[in-house]
Chains A and B, each alone.
Chain A
Amino acid sequence: MLTAENPLPAPVRAEILALAAQELYPRGASVAALRLVQARFGWVSTTHLREVADLLGMSADDLDGVATYFNLLFRRPVGRHVIMLCDSVSCWIMGREPLCAHLCRKLGIRPGETTADNAITLLPTVCIGHCDHAPAMLVDNALHGDVDTAILDHLIDTLRDMP
């Protein structure tokens, strides 16, 4: 089984080396490599971070500086699905606070936490460029606009049923 605590599988290592080979210097692939690991494992564990650093010829601390810098790179495990509810200005004006409170109540968690069944992690996110359809959110990679409580309730049920 693939877990974040086992070494990276050989094909993933090969993909990272291929990314590095496209760059003038290997470290130019650091974000792409971290995103690749996260796409496979859901987050970037310290075991994997060290391996990636090694493949790119960087120190683990140097790469961790990159990994912890970006909003979309997770250095802690997340649930099977991640809801990122925009908390920037247009969405705030259009009522994202009551929606966030509704989500927290329904899920029994606070922003930054994962449900006990490991189905859903709720995170705030900065403006996702969908302000003409505020309030907006990203669910995994999919964009949703004009969000209301009915949409959220339906979404939660759907996500819980999905693998």
Chain B
Amino acid sequence: MTPPSERPLTAMIDPATGPPDCAAYEHAGGWQATRKALSSLAPAEIIDMVTRSKLRGRGGAGFGTGQKWSFVPKEPATDRRKYLIANADEMEPGTFKDRLLLEGNPLQLIEGMILAAYGVQAGHGIIFLRGEYDLACTRLHRAIGEARQQGWLGGNILGSGFSFDIHVHSSAGRYICGEETALLTALEGRRATPRSKPPFPQTGGLWGAPSVVNNVETLCNLPHIIANGPEWFAGLGLGEDGGTKIYGVSGRVAKPGAWELPIGTPLRQIIEEYAGGMRSGYRLRALLPGGASTAFLDAAAIDVAMDYGSVEKAGSRLGTGMAIILDDRTCPIGMIRNLEHFFAQESCGWCTPCRDGLPWVERLLDAIEDGTGQDEDMDQLARHARMLGAPGRTFCAHAPGAMAPLVSGLKLFAADFAAHIQQGRCPLQAGA
């Protein structure tokens, strides 16, 4: 028997042939985990295996997946309405990993959802898909239709007595819907503002029912954990975390892209080996390791291992694991202005500090970048960074996330800020 792939998430993904159908999926090892789970594993054993696999949520927060599930009330799905929701609202700027999984192998996500739903005993599945992912939408609908026709979804799957089906919710574009309580509010057809916790979704989620929201990449790992065992999965990681991770790089590197690698792969290897290093004529200056809401790391920090603990120790967050590169010919203040424009626009407006503070930050950065900034503006920026950056002063994590690149940028690019204000212009121009 061939050993399981060390790149389990992407083993079946081939852009040239398109996603596998049910037969091709099964031939390549798919559905094994579902057969095993539904015939010989109790729901509690699924949760235990996922906990032991050291799988942490791949959406950005990195919460232990098994632990997240452990808070769901244990009644069987037949006795209580519960929801298992795939968060496919991939909108973190610089992030394009879930698209790869959704378009490349939708059945893998479906199987992951069946396993998660069986574990927490949820009868209702929803894929919350961002509205812009048109191809993913078509492929998901086709895959769900086929899986339903062949008995992998619907009533009494494989004669196990467990029933589960999946509905695709196509959203209409709003970053905050990726926040799990805002996502639930969106599914209830309301203006999608985050909710206060408690109740946590696991006990009072969609329409008040227990609900689990997991990221697409998180769910896609489950078939491999159940089929090959938690110890095998935990062993794939190079450090404390289990499994592989889809890493990506964008910006002025030779070969921007996304690659599945052992979790904990050094950032230097990802940038130099996989992304081919910097384009000729450009030097690496700094980077955001895991999307727009992670703090800048200096070029000198690129030997960091890309796992949750190591990136945090280096002063940032693993986030989505999709790095955005700042080169030496792009203005760091321009880049931060672009990031804060995004966060200001995508603020849901529910709480005042975020709704009013982020546009203020954007205007201050506008002035500095456009050459009309004053010394006092730096004090204002620092004050906003302090007020909005600390958790607990705003309703959700949107503003603290927005402040991560600003707080780190104020330190790392202090000389650039000063030069803009002193010279009354931007010494560099973006896109030059």
A interface residues (Cβ-Cβ under 8 A, vs B):
22-25, 27-32, 34-35, 56, 58, 62, 65-66, 69-73, 87-90, 92-98, 125-134, 138, 141-143
Q: Which residue of the partner chain B has the closest CB to A97?
A: B431
Q: Is B309 an interface residue (CB 8 A)?
A: no
B431 contacts across to A, CB distance below 8 A: 92-98
| CA A111 to CA B24, docked complex, whole Å | 45
Flag if A93 contacts B430 (CB, 8 Å): yes
Flag if B258 contacts A89 (CB, 8 Å): no
B251 contacts across to A, CB distance below 8 A: 90, 93-94
Flag if B90 contacts A129 (CB, 8 Å): yes
For chain B, the bracket of interface size reads 35 or more
Flag if B430 contacts A35 (CB, 8 Å): no
8 Å CB contact of B330 from A30, A66, A93, A129: A93
Flag if A131 contacts B248 (CB, 8 Å): yes
Q: What 6 pairs between A and B have smallest CB-CB spacing?
A: A95-B431, A70-B172, A71-B173, A30-B189, A27-B189, A131-B250
Flag if A131 contacts B132 (CB, 8 Å): no
| CA A54 to CA B92, docked complex, whole Å | 35
The answer to whether A89 and B173 touch (CB under 8 A), given A131-B256, A132-B96, is no
User: Told that A89-B93, A132-B248 touch, could you supply 8 new A-B pairs with CB distance under 8 A?
Assistant: A31-B186, A35-B172, A58-B189, A73-B172, A89-B94, A125-B173, A127-B95, A129-B91
Nearest CB on B from A56, distance (A): 7
Within 8 A of A (CB), among B240-262: 248-252, 256-258
Nearest CB on A from B186, distance (A): 7
8 Å CB contact of B189 from A28, A72, A96: A28
8 Å CB contact of A70 from B173, B324, B339: B173
| Residue among B96, B170, B288, B348 with most chain A CB within 10 A | B96
Nearest CB on A from B99, distance (A): 5
8 Å CB contact of B324 from A66, A69, A93: A93
Flag if A88 contacts B189 (CB, 8 Å): no
Q: Which residue of the partner chain B has the closest CB to A27?
A: B189
| CA A142 to CA B256, docked complex, whole Å | 21
B188 contacts across to A, CB distance below 8 A: 25, 27-28
Flag if B96 contacts A93 (CB, 8 Å): no
The answer to whether A143 and B135 touch (CB under 8 A), given A27-B188, A69-B191, A90-B94, is yes
A132 contacts across to B, CB distance below 8 A: 96, 248-250, 256-258
Flag if A92 contacts B191 (CB, 8 Å): no
| CA A132 to CA B248, docked complex, whole Å | 8
Q: Is B326 an interface residue (CB 8 A)?
A: yes
Flag if A88 contacts B338 (CB, 8 Å): yes
| CA A94 to CA B325, docked complex, whole Å | 11
| CA A22 to CA B133, docked complex, whole Å | 22
A133 contacts across to B, CB distance below 8 A: 256
Nearest CB on A from B128, distance (A): 11
Flag if B292 contacts A25 (CB, 8 Å): no
Flag if B189 contacts A29 (CB, 8 Å): yes
Nearest CB on A from B326, distance (A): 7
A24 contacts across to B, CB distance below 8 A: 207
The answer to whether A69 and B174 touch (CB under 8 A), given A27-B189, A31-B189, A89-B338, is yes
| CA A31 to CA B173, docked complex, whole Å | 11
| CA A66 to CA B186, docked complex, whole Å | 9
